[in-house]
Amino acid sequence: MKNIAVIGAGTMGNGIAHVFAQNGFQVNLIDISQASLDKGIATITKNLDRMLAKEVIDQKNKETTLANISTYTDLNKGVSQVDLVVEAATENLDIKLKIFKDLDEACEASTILATNTSSISITQIGAATQRPDKVIGMHFMNPVPIMKLVEIIRGYNTSDAVTKTIMELSQKLGKTPTEVNDYPGFVANRILMPMINEAIETLYNGVAGVQEIDTVMKLGMAHPMGPLQLADFIGLDVCLSILNVMYDGFKNPKYAPCPLLVNMVMAGKLGVKSGEGFYDYSESRKAEHVSAQFN
C-alpha cells in the first residue's frame, strides 16, 4: 500500500492523515470544505512544529510529511487511484452510508474501504457497498499521532485477507492494532461510555460535584483524566450519539443516556468544541482549567 485517502479534515481525519504521511504514505485528504482542509493542514503543521520543538522529528521530516499530503474537495478525484480509504466523517449513520455508497462507485475494485467510526456497525456500512468483504473498521484514538491503539473491527463479511492487511498496516504506522468483532460500541466505547454515563448520573443525582467526581476517578482509579472532563474532550454530542447506538443495538436500559446529558446537548453545551460542557473552556477560564486539571 502506497496511496491513502482520508475522508474528513476534522480532529480525527487530520490526525489520521498526519500519521500516514509521517510514515511515508502518499495521502489525499478530502473534505467538502476548503476552509476545513486549510484548518486541517494548519493543525498538522502545528503538531509537527510541536514535535520538532521536542526533537522528536527534524525539519526534513516535517517538510516530507507535509509534502506527502494533497488536499481535495472533489471526492471522485481524491479516491480514484488509492489503495485504502479511511473515512473519518461525522458520526452519523446516514452520512456514512451515503459516503460508502459513493466510495464504492468511485474507487477501484481492489480498494479497501475503512471507517473510523467509534460505534456504528461495520456490517451495516459494508452492506451499502458491493464489496462488503473489503469494508473494515479502523478506530483510531484521539490524539491520533500520540495514542497507540487502533481498534480493528471486522464486519460479518470482512475477509480474513483484508483484516490481515489492515492489522499489518497499522503496525507499520507504529500503532498497536487490536482485532474486535462488530457489536455496538465495539470494546473501547462499550466499556468507556457506560462509565462516562454513570459519572453523569452521579452528578445528576447530586452525589457529588463535577470536580469531586473527576478527582475520585483520577486519584482513586489512576485515570489520567476524570470521566466528565474526558466527556468534554470527546464531545457530549458524540457521547450521546454512541450511547444511543448502543441502546438501540442492545435494547438494554443500562445504555440509556442520562437525561442531564441529553439536556446539555440540546442546550448546545457540547464540551471543549462549544466552549462549555461540564467545565468552562472560554478564554477567560482556559488558563484556570488547564492549571486545575493537569497539575
DSSP string, 226-281: -HHHHHHHH-HHHHHHHHHHHHHHH--GGGSPPHHHHHHHHTT--BGGGTBSSSB-
Is pLDDT of 289 > 80? no
Is pLDDT of 245 > 80? yes
- Domain boundary (181, 201, 234) is at 181
Q: What is the mean pLDDT of residues 99-114?
A: 98
Is pLDDT of 241 > 60? yes
52 and 12, same structural domain? yes
User: In this structure, is residue 60 part of a structural domain?
Assistant: yes
**How far, in Å, CA of 23 to CA of 17, rounded?**
10
The pLDDT of residue 235:
94
226 and 176, same structural domain? no
The pLDDT of residue 285:
59
Q: How many residues does the chain have?
A: 295
User: In this structure, is residue 152 part of a structural domain?
Assistant: yes
**How far, in Å, CA of 292 to CA of 114, rounded?**
39
273 and 221, same structural domain? yes
User: In this structure, is residue 294 part of a structural domain?
Assistant: no
110 and 32, same structural domain? yes
Domains of the chain: total: 2
pLDDT tens, position by position, 146-204: 999 999 999 999 999 999 999 999 999 999 999 999 999 999 999 999 999 999 999 99
8 is in an annotated binding site: yes
**How far, in Å, CA of 229 to CA of 75, rounded?**
35
170 and 195, same structural domain? no
User: In this structure, is residue 295 part of a structural domain?
Assistant: no
Structural domain including 237 reads 190-289
CA dihedral 174, 230, 242, 44 (to 10 degrees): -40
User: In this structure, is residue 284 part of a structural domain?
Assistant: yes
pLDDT interval class at 218 (50, 70, 90): very high
Q: Beta strand 112-115 with 176-181: parallel, antiparallel or unpaired?
A: unpaired
10 is in an annotated binding site: yes
User: In this structure, is residue 248 part of a structural domain?
Assistant: yes
31 is in an annotated binding site: yes
- Domain boundary (162, 181, 200) is at 181
The pLDDT of residue 295:
38
Opening angle at CA 194, ends 171 and 211, nearest 5: 100
- Domain boundary (152, 181, 210) is at 181
Mean pLDDT of the chain: 94
Q: Which CATH number do you get for residue 221?
A: 1.10.1040.10
275 is in an annotated binding site: no
152 and 205, same structural domain? no
196 and 67, same structural domain? no
15 and 123, same structural domain? yes
CA dihedral 279, 280, 285, 286 (to 10 degrees): 70
User: In this structure, is residue 223 part of a structural domain?
Assistant: yes
**How far, in Å, CA of 5 to CA of 70, rounded?**
9
Q: Which CATH number do you get for residue 120?
A: 3.40.50.720
Q: What is the mean pLDDT of residues 75-101?
A: 95
Which of 58, 38, 39, 40 lies closest to 48, judged by CA?
58
Residues near 12 by Cβ (< 8 Å), separated by ≥ 6? 88, 116, 140, 142, 144
233 and 129, same structural domain? no
217 and 122, same structural domain? no
pTM over 0.95: no
92 is in an annotated binding site: no
pLDDT tens, position by position, 120-143: 999 999 999 999 999 999 999 999
pLDDT tens, position by position, 24-44: 999 999 999 999 999 999 999
Is pLDDT of 286 > 80? no
**Cell reading at 71:** 488536499
Measured CA distances, 78 to 42, 132, 241, 254 (Å): 20, 21, 29, 42
Q: Extract the runs of DSSP E, i.e. beta strands, from the chain.
A: 3-7, 26-30, 69-72, 84-87, 112-115, 135-140, 149-154, 176-181
**How far, in Å, CA of 60 to CA of 39, rounded?**
22
User: In this structure, is residue 150 part of a structural domain?
Assistant: yes
152 and 40, same structural domain? yes
Q: What is the mean pLDDT of residues 218-246?
A: 96
Is pLDDT of 145 > 70? yes
**How far, in Å, CA of 269 to CA of 286, rounded?**
16
- 74 in Cβ contact with 99 (< 8 Å): no
The pLDDT of residue 282:
87
16 and 132, same structural domain? yes
The residues assigned a catalytic role are 118, 139, 151, 189
